[in-house]
Every structure is written in C-alpha cells, then in structure tokens.
Amino acid sequence: MKQASDIIVFQRHDVALESFVAAEDRRVAGECRQSVANHYSDPSGQFHAGIWSGGLGCWKVRYSEHEFCTLLQGRVKVSDEAGNSVELKQGGHFVIPAGFVGTWQVLEPACKTYAVFEARQAE
C-alpha cells in the first residue's frame, strides 16, 4: 500500500534538469532550446510527469503518446498539418492526443507541467 510519503511534490523533489535543442531536421524556426525535469515515471515506463520549459522557436512534432499539460507561463501555438492551430497562454489546460502531427511553436518563453501516457505497442 502506498503512503503519503510516496506522493511526489514537484517543489520538494530534486531531479536532474535535462537541457536540449530540437533535432535539426525537426526545427522550423529559432533555436528551439528546451529543458525537462521528469519528476516521475511509473514502473512500466508508460506514464511520466514533470516540468518542461522552452525558448522561442518552432519545431515539428509527432505524438505517439497522450499528453496532458498545464501552461504555467508563456504562450504557445500548436498547429496540425492542415494549418489549423490552437494558441494557449498561461493557465491553459490541454491534452494532445496520440497520433497528433504538426508543429509546436513557443511565442513567449514557456513552462508547463505535463503528464504523459504512452501505451505499449502490441508485439
């Protein structure tokens, strides 16, 4: 049985910050600098939660996972391949479903919490 001490409070949980730049073949505009602090991964490796931040830029995305996000700061635009887009700002809560293909554009430096679930592929 899990206890209160098993609850992961991000502000009290020290994790390594992983900084990176989107792969060159995915970059559309800007430097696309990003960082992730993954605070939790379940034992199956299918569920993850943490904090992401990104600087100005636009890059191609292809989601194999479902992602729930809350934008803590900044402004982003997520566009599909047909050019339809959703602009999100601080306080926005949203889900990007698995199978989404398009671009992720940071309009103002952004930070979000995320919870990701990626189902295992049938073998």
Q: Max Cα separation, the chain?
A: 48
Asked if residue 97 belongs to a domain, the reply is yes
Domain count, the chain: 1
Q: Strand pairing partners for 106?
A: 57, 76
| Residue pLDDT, tens place only, 83-116 | 999 999 999 999 999 999 999 999 999 999 999 9
Is 5 within the bounds of a domain? no
Predicted confidence (pLDDT) per residue in 23-54, tens digit: 999 999 999 999 999 999 999 999 999 999 99
Residue 10: inside a domain, yes or no? Answer: no
Q: Classify residue 4: in a domain, yes or no.
A: no
23 is in which domain, residue-wise?
A: 16-117
For residue 32, what is the domain's CATH number? Answer: 2.60.120.10
Give me the amino acid identity at 77. K
The band of 123, judged by pLDDT with boundaries at 50, 70 and 90, is: low
pTM for the model? 0.91
